[in-house]
Amino acid sequence: MLFFLWATMAAAQENVIGIMASNGCVNCHGYEGRGGTIGTIPSLQGRSKEFLRTAMLDYKHNVSRGTVMNRIMKDVDDRKIEVLAEYFSGIK
């Protein structure tokens, strides 16, 4: 029983870390990254972790060009990119 309590608390803590890391993302991508209400802003929720990580790194390193994503991602460290990819890929 104690193991399940610990596992639940660990999962909740990871979720909080993802939620806190994603605070700026929801301004455009919507609640839990479920999609923006403006124009062509894509949904992030449920996409593969690899896709999200690659997309963010591509914006960070100017491989992909976006309207604001290059400026947003340029100072984001790789650990936060990993946290965001994990968080958004886990939302169903």
Give the architecture (CATH level 2) of 2-89. Orthogonal Bundle (1.10)
pLDDT band at 76 (very low <50, low <70, confident <90, very high): very high
Domain definitions of the chain by residue range: 2-89
Question: In the predicted model, what is the mean pLDDT of residues 59-75?
Answer: 92
pLDDT band at 73 (very low <50, low <70, confident <90, very high): very high
Q: Structure pTM?
A: 0.79
* Mean pLDDT of the chain, nearest integer: 84
Instruction: Identify the CA nearest to 44 among candidates 28, 60, 59.
Output: 28
Residue given tokens 């890391």 in the structure block: 21
Q: Residue 20: pLDDT above 70?
A: yes
Phi, psi for 77 (deg, rounded to 5): -80, 160
